Amino acid sequence: MQKRARVIYNPTAGRELMKQKMIDILNILEQAGYEASAFATTPAENSAKNEARRAAEDGFALLVAAGGDGTINEVVNGIAPLKNRPKMAIIPAGTTNDYARALHIPREDPVEAAKIILKNQTVKMDIGQANENYFINIAAGGQIAEITYDVPSNLKTLFGYVAYLVKGAELLPRVRPVEMDIKYDDGEYKGKASMFFLALTNSVGGLEQIVPDAELDDGKFTMIIVKTGNIVEMLHLLSKVLNGGKHIDDPRIIYKKTSQVKVAPVKDRIQINLDGEYGGDAPMTFIDHKRHIEMFANTDKIPNKAIGETAEEKTAEAKFLEGIDRIPDQNE
């Protein structure tokens, strides 16, 4: 019996480019030996998640999540709780496409992204769980993490990475640390923090340098707690990130590897961001499920330390660093 593949795609992603290229994508899946079909998501809640679960329970061998990181997250949430999980592939068409960057999958052309499946290279990826929900790339909490909610969706679509950079700089002055109680494998932090986050890959918001030593299948999150709320200090921390990941030993942060994390508020509300979307409030327990879903990837390139940036991203970072260099570091 021929293996079946189901493309679950967001018809509005990438200015509807995915819908325009769907016949070519299905042809590539046929070349790879699959009987291929497609499902267009709807505005209904959990549309991609429900279809992913249905297809997995119906015995599909491969699910292709085509869209932004939100679509990929939904498909993962559909199959992660199941005992028998199909393989996954992704075709990016969103804002930052962090997951595609981490797997070295082409981000500009859906057809070229689909051709990665023809290479037949896969990685068994760690998947994060936050209470009853799952995430593929990042979980975060604190006022810095809440910045992403304030970037309008149309701005994300038009300007992507630069929209986050510009909007983030605009909102930083209002960031205030909150009291958090964070327990992890070999310790606990109880004190003020402007943000904590847990990363599963090395690509966070379009930046690879934030987690320079990330491993995709080691069963551990990279946890970063930003203790300072001072805007000048945070800008200098970001400059260290952009200058080759030199932030990991800075005393203003905690940088640890851990397989489990428990976060509880002490007084103020802590909203949790899962893969760029609101995922509930703390208290919350996070678990790294080691090598949980097998993903098609461009494994020939994964050992490289960085993924090539677009010219737009390089220009934005260069201008940012030029401004930061003029600010005296209060910690040095």
Residue 152: C-alpha distances to residues 196, 206, 270 (Å): 23, 17, 21
Return the amino acid letter for 287: I
Q: Can you say how many angstroms the Cα of residue 293 is from the centroid of all Cα atoms in its chain?
A: 15
Catalytic residue list contains 277: yes
Helix 69-79 to helix 47-57 angle, to the nearest 10 degrees? 40
What token pair was written down for 113?
A: 């992204």
Cβ neighbourhood burial of 311 (10 Å; 0-12, 13-18, 19+)? exposed
Instruction: Report in angstroms the alpha-carbon separations of 251 from 17, 218, 224, 237.
Output: 45, 26, 12, 10
Tokens at 322, concatenated: 């030029």
Tell me the H-state helices in 213-257: 231-242
The two tokens of residue 133 are 């929900």
CB atoms within 10 A of CB 312: 12
- Catalytic choice (277, 294, 309, 313): 277
Closest-CA residue to 96 (of 85, 107, 87, 106): 107
Contacts of residues 44-48 at CB distance under 8 Å and 24 or more positions apart, as own/partner, are 46/74, 47/74, 48/8, 48/10, 48/74, 48/75, 48/78
Q: Give Cα 140 distance to the centre of its chain.
A: 11
Angle, to 10 degrees, between the axis of helix 161-171 and the axis of helix 311-324? Answer: 20
Catalytic residue numbers? Answer: 277
